[in-house]
Amino acid sequence: MANKEMIDAKEDKVVAVHKAYKITLEGTAGLIMNKMPDLSLSKAEKKNQARVDLVECERLHWREKAYTENGMVVIPGENIHECMKEAAKYWGGRIDGEGKRTYTDLIASAVICDSVQTGINENDERELIPFGKAVNGNPSKGKKSGCKVYRIRPLLPIGWRGTFVMHVFDSRITNHVLNTIFEFGGTFKGLCDWRPTYGRFSVVSMEEM
């Protein structure tokens, strides 16, 4: 996409501009995935559902909870974008010359993230492993519901890596702002499930394309 600029007539400065960045992340903690199941099938269409023990079902189907594209494990761009929005809010940095306005709305409106390509095959038994834990079986009633169920989810061990392309459409989102937001996001927010205990990361490289 060619670079395009739009002039803010009121301020007489460039506001909208298209920049693309190639970014590589490295996990400083393991990353846990939990893709929603296929809801297109009714319970009646799922074979042997009533006869399969719930824990055994977790053992059989945990790998299906990984995010994949064409047989390769990915981290959805929506996860990166949500992490950035939460990080911008947590940081609280204000836009120069715009009073108390922070970068949260700018990140929400002017940033698009492609999926993170990890280079891991969905059947790789070393880089994608099962992680089991007893969790709240009825989160709608809070942490004290007393109902515990065992869940198994796909885990990328600490040290995972992934590369993605990010598009920025506002010149007020500078390289310094992006680096700061990623630092806060990787340290305090994380990606995917059971964050920030899991899913924390650091930026290995960020190159403008």
Cα atoms found within 13 Å of the Cα of residue 94, Cβ hemisphere only = 6
- Token pair in block for residue 22: 């190639």
Q: Given this model, what pLDDT does residue 55 score?
A: 79
User: What per-residue confidence (pLDDT) applies to 54?
Assistant: 75
Mark the ranges of the chain whose per-residue pLDDT is less than 50.
1-4, 7-10, 12
166's enclosing H/E stretch is strand 161-168
- Return the pLDDT at 9: 41
What are the sequence ranges of the domains in the chain? 13-37+44-130+156-208
Q: Minimal CA–CA distance to 164: which of 83, 88, 62? A: 83
Q: Would you call 15 helix, strand, or coil by DSSP?
A: strand
Closest CA to 86 of 78, 98, 76: 78
Per-residue pLDDT, 2:
43
- Contact of 102 with 167, CB cutoff 8 Å: no
